[in-house]
Every structure is written in C-alpha cells, then in structure tokens.
C-alpha cells in the first residue's frame, strides 16, 4: 500500500482526479465503515454489521460487501459499482485525512495512476493555487467521515453498555456439502431491544442509537444478496445460509 502524500498547491498544482469515478481501489475491501448521514441507503442495500479491531478489540460499524475476506462483490471488473448506492467512505479515495506527525487534519492523497492524472479529470487547485469546488467537496466529505466515525462510535458505546450487541453466526452450506461458519460478526439483538427499560429507550431514541440499532438488525436480510452474487457462475454454489444470533461461544 503506497504511503499517502500531503497535498500541497505548490507540489500538486496540476493534479487532477480522473473521471468518471471507479471503485477498483475497493475491489479487495470486504467492508467499509458507515456514516450517520447515509444509514437509510446502506440499510437498504447491504448487511450492516459490527466487527472488532484485531489490535484493540474496539467495535466499528461496517457495510459488508462479501462473506469472504478481501473480496468485494460490488466492484465490477472495470471498476463500476454494482449497487444503487456506494458508501461515502469509498468515494473519497485517493484522498484521505493525514495522521502523520504535525499533519493532523490535513488532506493527503495517494498518487495512484488509476485515479490521478496531471492532464485529464477534475482539477484540485485552480490557477491561483486555491482549492477548486471539487477539492472543497472532497474536504467536506473527509470532515463528514471523521465526525461520522465519532458519532457512530457513540451509538456503539450505548449499544454495548445496554447489552444490545450479539454475535451473529453465519453458516453457509455449499452444494458439495462443505460448510463454513463466519466468525467475528455482530448484530443487534432484537429481543434485547424490545426489553429495554423505559428510560433507556428514551435515551437511545433521542441520541439516534435506537433507530440505528433497529436498522442494523433489519439489514441482516441482505446477507442473502451477498450469497446470490457470490453464486453467480460459481462451481460449488452456496445452497443454504443461516444467519442466527450465536448462542454458543
């Protein structure tokens, strides 16, 4: 993975981002974080689940693009996005927010030739070196991603505190009889949600965490979509998938 470079009008005055936008950069991303402002769209298209960070154990909330690692069933060979909606987190590449010393909060980019050009596409800086409308849009999107992650983390903290998250056991069975059990995916527990006490219900409703929790729970049905996409042209298709709240550890 290339390192990101700090964007500067001096060094990158001619930088352009290619159009139309393609999603090749996401072809091995099995999931990406979701933003509060796009929940209706992601709930309507993808399973939205919770996964833990391998280093810290912290939960994040993500849209799933495949049941297999390093695979994205929504990126076509030519990079087109194969659903009606692409999450915000996937649309800012090659730009990102810098996290290196002293550059916190500044915009960086990866000089990926599939996305960057110095002759064609959307200009990043205008002739006087000021950010174009395009770059300002990117800046806004990046800011939304940072703030959104914090807001989602707040919802997650509330759901963990009130014991609303539960592990999901996703078991797939193939035509050959091979079965696979997916680990480490969590969803919201509808039973736990409906038995919360009144004051907790009000608290979660006011913060938005309640609607968020119900939406995540409902989105699990999209796992069937993932299976259908995976099966297209597959030699050993998945014949059954069972996604149930895990009762054993």
Q: Are strands 238-245 and 165-174 parallel, antiparallel or unpaired?
A: antiparallel
The token pair at 129 is 């070196």
31 binds another protein (CB under 8 A): no
59 binds another protein (CB under 8 A): yes
Q: Cα-flanking dihedrals φ and ψ of residue 26, to 5°?
A: -105, 10
- Helical pair 133-161 and 209-219, crossing angle rounded to 10 deg: 90
Judged by CB under 8 A, the residue of 178, 184, 240, 244 near another protein is: 184
Q: Cα-flanking dihedrals φ and ψ of residue 23, to 5°?
A: -115, 25
125 binds another protein (CB under 8 A): no
CB of 52 to another protein, least distance (A): 4
**Site stretch for another protein (CB under 8 A), options 9-17, 28-36, 49-57, 221-229:** 49-57
Residues in contact with another protein, counted by CB under 8 A, come to a total of: 16
Nearer to another protein, 130 or 181 (CB): 181
Strands of the sheet with 5-6, listed across from one edge: 5-6, 107-109, 95-97
Judged by CB under 8 A, the residue of 1, 3, 20, 57 near another protein is: 57
Neighbours of 163 (CB within 10 A): 10
Nearer to another protein, 52 or 175 (CB): 52
Q: Considering only CA atoms, which of 197, 248, 193, 199 is closest in space to residue 216?
A: 193
**Site stretch for another protein (CB under 8 A), options 57-65, 71-79, 116-124, 208-216:** 57-65
Judged by CB under 8 A, the residue of 23, 46, 74, 186 near another protein is: 186
Show contacts with another protein in window 159-178 (CB under 8 A): 160, 163, 165-167
CB of 171 to another protein, least distance (A): 19
54 binds another protein (CB under 8 A): yes
Q: What is the DSSP letter of 75?
A: B
Residue recorded with tokens 């030699």: 235
245 binds another protein (CB under 8 A): no
Residue recorded with tokens 């495949």: 66
181 binds another protein (CB under 8 A): no
Nearer to another protein, 167 or 203 (CB): 167
Question: Would you mind telling me the total number of residues written for the chain in this entry?
Answer: 249
Angle at 47 between CA 42 and CA 50, to 5 degrees: 100
Sites of contact with another protein (CB under 8 A): 52-59, 160, 163, 165-167, 184, 186, 249
């Amino acid at each position: 993975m290339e390192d990101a470079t700090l964007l500067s009008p001096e060094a990158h005055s001619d930088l352009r981002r290619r159009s139309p936008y393609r999603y090749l950069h996401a072809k091995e991303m099995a999931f990406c974080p979701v933003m509060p402002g796009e929940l209706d769209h992601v709930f309507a298209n993808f399973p939205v689940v919770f996964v833990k960070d391998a280093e810290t154990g912290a939960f994040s909330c993500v849209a799933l693009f495949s049941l297999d690692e390093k695979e994205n069933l929504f990126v076509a060979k030519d990079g087109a996005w194969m659903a009606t909606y692409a999450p915000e987190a996937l649309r800012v590449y090659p730009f990102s927010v810098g996290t290196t010393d002293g550059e916190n909060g500044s915009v960086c980019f990866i000089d990926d030739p599939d996305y960057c050009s110095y002759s064609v596409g959307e200009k990043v800086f205008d002739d006087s070196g000021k950010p174009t409308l395009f770059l300002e849009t990117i800046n806004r999107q990046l800011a939304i991603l940072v703030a959104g992650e914090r807001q989602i983390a707040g919802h997650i903290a509330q759901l963990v505190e009130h014991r609303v998250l539960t592990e999901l056991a996703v078991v797939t069975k193939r035509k050959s009889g091979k079965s696979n059990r997916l680990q480490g995916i969590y969803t919201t527990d509808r039973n736990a949600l409906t038995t919360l006490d009144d004051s907790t219900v009000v608290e979660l409703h006011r913060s938005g965490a309640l609607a968020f929790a119900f939406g995540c729970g409902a989105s699990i049905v999209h796992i069937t979509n993932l299976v259908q996409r995976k099966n297209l042209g597959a030699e050993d298709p998945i014949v059954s998938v069972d996604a149930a709240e895990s009762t054993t550890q």
